[in-house]
Amino acid sequence: MPLLLLSALKYVLIVLIWLFFLFAMRAVWRETRRQVRTTVATNLVAVPMNEPSPKVVPVGTHPIKSQGKVLALEGPYAGKTFTFETPALLGRDAGCSIVLAEDAFVSQRHAEIYLERRHVIVMDLGSKNGTFVNGDPVEAPMRITKGDVIQLGKTALKVVAK
C-alpha cells in the first residue's frame, strides 16, 4: 500500500509541475503580447501648443477622395470613432480633419492619410514623436489596411473602414 501511495504522489507531483510550467508560460506570453502593443508610447516628448512646423509639407494636394473610419483604442480618446474624408490631416490644430487636441504628445500637424491608386497611405509630417503603424515607425509614406493600428503620441487609432 505505501508503494502505491508513493507512486500516486509521484504522478500528482509531475502533473503539478507541468501545470506550474504551463501557467508560467501563459503569463510570459500575455506579458510579451501586452508589451508589444504598448511599446510605442514609452519615450514621448510633450509638444508645446504653439509649436512651429519644422518643415513645410504640401498637405491635401492629393486629388483622389475616399472616406474612412478609425477607432481610438488608447489615449485620451479611447472608445471614440473618427470618420474622415481623404486627404485627412491628423494633429492638434483645429484645422485638422481628425483633431487630437487633448493628446499633448501629438504635433499640431502630425500625420496625413490620403488615397493613392486605390491604396490608403499614411505619412508622418515631421512630428517630434513620430507616427507608427502596427508598432513600426512611418519613415516614408506607408500603406495601411483595415485592422492596422496607427499610433500618434499616446493615441492609438485602429483602421475600422477605408
Task: Give whole-number Cα distances, 161 to 81, 135, 158, in Å.
Answer: 11, 20, 9
- What residues does 85 pair with on adjacent strands? 67
Rounded mean pLDDT, 9-36: 87
What count of other Cβ atoms lies within 10 Å of the Cβ of residue 104? 16
Q: Read off the pTM.
A: 0.62
Distance in angstroms (rounded) separating the CA atoms of residues 149 and 15? 41
Mean pLDDT of all residues in 56-67: 61
Task: Please give the Cα distance from 121 to 126 (Å, whole number).
Answer: 16
The answer to whether 136 touches 122, Cβ cutoff 8 Å, is no
Cell numbers at 137, concatenated: 515607425
How far is residue 76's CA from residue 89's CA, in Å, rounded to a whole number? 18
SS3 42: coil
**What is the Cα–Cα distance from 70 to 4, expressed in whole angstroms?**
63
pLDDT greater than 80 at residue 112: yes
- For the stretch 150-159, pLDDT in tens is 999 888 999 8
Q: Does residue 36 surpass a pLDDT of 60? A: no
Bridge-based pairing state of the strands 88-91 and 98-99:
parallel
Residue 39 gets which letter from DSSP?
G
Instruction: Determine contact, residues 100/91, Cβ cutoff 8 Å.
Output: yes
* Cis before 48 (ω within 30): no
Q: Which residue has the higher pLDDT, 162 or 81?
A: 81
